[in-house]
Every structure is written in structure tokens, then in C-alpha cells.
Amino acid sequence: MKTVIALLALMLPIAGCTTGYGTSVGALEPIPGSITYGGQPASRLTKAPIGSQVPHEFRDRQGRRVMETYVIQPDRSLLLVSRRTCDSPFCDD
């Protein structure tokens, strides 16, 4: 019985975790300058393989360098999966 209780206690903290892209918990929202800001782009990436990554770099309104990564979904839409910002012009890539 103690073993069952111990296992349940260990499993509870991870019960709310989800894996994969596109989960609403912790999902990145597009910002001005993002490819998907204002909706999906009109043109689709038809030759890129599904699951491939698309990098995108721009400057935000404060002049910071923003580096985003998108993943091509099966319906050819883009999913924003990571974003890094840098205030210095000498950021690591």
C-alpha cells in the first residue's frame, strides 16, 4: 500500500504536463513582426517537408533582435515553437 501511495505522489506533479507542439499551456503568441501575427500567411510552404523548421529573425518595436522558429504542420500552417530575444548586437546564434 505504501508503494502505491508513493507512486501516486510521484505521478501527481506530472499529471498536468503535456508534450508536443501547439498545446495551449505555454504556447507562444505571435508578436508584431512574427510571420503569423494577424493570422497565417496567405502563401503556403508547399515544397518544405512537414515537420521541418523555419527560422525567422526581425527587430521588435524596442529594437531588440528577435529570433523565432516555426514548424510546418500537416495542413501547411506554421506553428510558432520558440522565440529568443536579445538586447545586444552581439548575441549568440
Indicate the pTM of the whole model. Answer: 0.67
pLDDT value at position 12? 39
Counting Cβ atoms within 10 Å, is residue 80 exposed (0-12), middle (13-18) or buried (19+)?
buried
Could you read off the pLDDT of 54-66 as tens digits, one per residue? 999 999 999 999 9
User: With contact defined as beta carbons under 8 Å apart, do 45 and 54 qualify?
Assistant: yes
Domain ranges of the chain: 28-39+47-93
| Tens of pLDDT, residues 26-84 | 689 999 999 999 999 888 888 889 999 999 999 999 999 999 999 999 999 999 999 99
Q: How far apart are CA 46 and CA 64, in angstroms?
A: 31
